[in-house]
Structure 1
Amino acid sequence: MTLDDNPRGVQAIAISSAFSGVALAVILMRLYTRLFIVHCAGVEDYFVTFAMMCSMGLTVTIAIQAMCGMGQHFAELKSDNMQHSLEAFYASLLVYNLSLGLIKTSILLQYRRVFTTRRFQVVCWLVLTAVVIHTTWSVLGSILACLPVRAFWTKETPAKCIDQFSMWFTNAGINITTDFIIILLPIPVIKSLNLAKRQKLALMGIFAVGGL
C-alpha cells in the first residue's frame, strides 16, 4: 500500500511532523540558551530532551502505521498490513506515555528550581510523585497489555488482554487532570509576589502560553 491511496494517513504524518518540528525547534533554542548563554543546564533539561526523543519516536511510529494502512477502512486492509500497523501502534503507546511523563517531570523540576517556598516545594513533590507513579503504571500497562505480549498485534488465542479502552480512557483522564494541576500550580505563588499588577499578569500570561 502506498500513501497515495491513504490521504488520512498523509494528514496524520503531516500534522504530527509539523508539531514535532515546532517542538524540536523550541527545545534546541532552550538547550542552546541553557548550555551556551547562561551556562546553567539543569536536570530538567535532560528530561525534556529525552521527552523530545520519545516524541520524535512517536512521529515515526505514526508514519509506519500510516504506511501500513492507518486511515484506511478496516475491510480494505490485508492481514499483514494490519499486524505491522498494530506492532507500530504498540511501540507508539510506549513512547507516547513515556514522553508525557518525562515532559511533566521536566516542568515540575523546573518549578522546584524557580519557586522555593516550602509549601510549594511540598506540593510540587506530591504532584511529581503522582506523575512518576502514573507514568510507570501507563508504560508497564502498555508493555503488558496482553500476555503473551505478541497477542497485542497477532490477536492470537488463547491470550489474556487487559480492557484496553478502559485503560486508555483512564490514562487520558489522569493525564488531563495532572495537566491542569501543573498549569495552575504556580498561579497562587505568582499572585503572592511583591510585584506590580501588570508584571503579575505578564508572568501569568507566560505560564498560560506554556499551558497552551
Structure 2
Amino acid sequence: MTGLALIFVVLRVISRFWIMRNPGMDDVLLILSTVVLCGFLASLAVSVHNHAGYPSVTLDAGNIEALSKTALLVEILYYFNICFIKCSILLTYLRFAVTRIFRRLCKGTIYFHVFLCIGSVVAVFSQTDPLSKMWTAAGDLNDYRINLAVLFYVTAGINIATDFWILVLPIKALSQIRRPRGEKIVLFCVFGAGLFASVASIVRLRSIAIYVNAEDHLRNSLSLLLWCMIEMSVAICCASVTGMRPIWLWIIRQ
C-alpha cells in the first residue's frame, strides 16, 4: 500500500512540477503526507519487531515499553497525516473555486481540520499524567486519564463525516463547469475517488471497536495499525488522482 501511494504521488509530482510547472501547497502537503506515511510504516515495522499481536503475558517489559512508545508515535502521525491529506484535497478545490461561498466553505473546512488535528494531538499527549505512565501501565486503558475509546470513536466518526462532506462539496462547482458531458462525467469520477478512502475509514472503525473492547489491547493492536495504514495509503492515492490528468495526456500524445 505504501508503494502504491508513492507511485501515485510521484505521478502527480511529475504532472504538476514538470509538465504543468504549476505546483501548489496542495502538492507540498501530499508530499509531506507521503513522508509521514513512510514514518508510519517504519513505526509499524518497529511494532512487529517488538511482537505486536502477541499476548501481553508473553512480552517482557522492554517489548511493552517499546510498543507503548510506538503507539504514541503512530497516533500522532495518523492525525497529522489525515489533516495533510484532507487539506491537500481542499486546496485543490480552491484551484477551481469561482464563487465566494465555495471558497469560504473550503477554507472553513481546512481550518476545522487544522484545529481538529491540534486538539487530537493535545489529547494524545494528555492521556496519562505523567506521560511515562502510558508505557508503565500499558495494556490497561482504565489507567488513562482520557477515555481512549471515546477519543478514537469521536475522531473516527468526525473523519468519516468530513470524508463525505469533502466528497459532496465540489458537486455544484463541477456541474457549473462548461465542458462536454463526457468530460464532466470523468471529472465527477476523479473527484469521487475519495469514496474508496471513506470505505477504508468505515472498515477501520470496526477495528477500533475490536481494539477497545478487547481484554488484551496489545494483542489486538496490530489489525488497528494495519487498517490505519490502509486508510492513509488509499486516501493519498485518491488525493493524487485529481492532479494526474496532465501526465495521462502527455503519455497519450507521446
Report the TM-score, using the length of structure 1 for normalisation.
Answer: 0.84
Shift of 1:134: 0.5
Identify the match of residue 170 of structure 2 among 180, 183, 186.
Answer: 186
Q: Is the 8 A contact 1:58 1:92 kept in 2?
A: yes
Unmatched segments (≥5 aa) in structure 2: 197-254
Correspondences of 1:32-51 after superposition (within 5 Å): 32-51=14-33
Count of residue pairs brought into register by the alignment: 192
| Counterparts in 2 of 1:48 and 1:144: CA distance versus 1, 3 Å | same
Q: Is the 8 A contact 1:44 1:107 kept in 2?
A: yes
Identify the match of residue 107 of structure 1 among 82, 89, 108.
Answer: 89
Correspondences of 1:142-181 after superposition (within 5 Å): 142-155=124-137, 161-181=145-165
- Rounded Cα–Cα distance in structure 2 between residues aligned with 1:199 and 1:37: 21
Shift of 1:197: 3.1
Give the aligned partner of residue 10 of structure 1.
none
Q: Is the 8 A contact 2:134 2:144 kept in 1?
A: no
Q: Is the 8 A contact 1:101 1:132 kept in 2?
A: yes
- 1:211 is aligned with what amino acid? L
Deviations 1:139-178 (A, max 9, x none): 221122222111112228xx76211111111111111111
- 2:190 is aligned with what amino acid? I
Shift of 1:65: 0.8
Correspondences of 1:38-117 after superposition (within 5 Å): 38-117=20-99
- Rounded Cα–Cα distance in structure 1 between residues aligned with 2:31 and 2:52: 28
Q: Is the 8 A contact 2:163 2:194 kept in 1?
A: no
Give the aligned partner of residue 200 of structure 1.
184
- Rounded Cα–Cα distance in structure 2 between residues aligned with 1:41 and 1:200: 24
Deviations 1:60-85 (A, max 9, x none): 11111111111112232222211111
Report the TM-score, using the length of structure 2 for normalisation.
Answer: 0.71
Unmatched segments (≥5 aa) in structure 1: 1-18
Shift of 1:191: 2.1
- Rounded Cα–Cα distance in structure 1 between residues aligned with 2:178 and 2:16: 27
Higher relative contact order (CA 8 A, sep 6+): 2
**3-state SS in 2 of match to 1:46:** helix
The farther-off stretch of 169-178 and 26-35 is: 26-35
| Counterparts in 2 of 1:133 and 1:85: CA distance versus 1, 3 Å | same
Q: Is the 8 A contact 1:65 1:86 kept in 2?
A: no
Shift of 1:32: 2.0
- 2:18 is aligned with what amino acid? F
Shift of 1:194: 3.2
Shift of 1:208: 1.7
**3-state SS in 1 of match to 2:135:** helix
- Rounded Cα–Cα distance in structure 2 between residues aligned with 1:39 and 1:199: 23
Shift of 1:195: 3.4
Shift of 1:35: 1.5
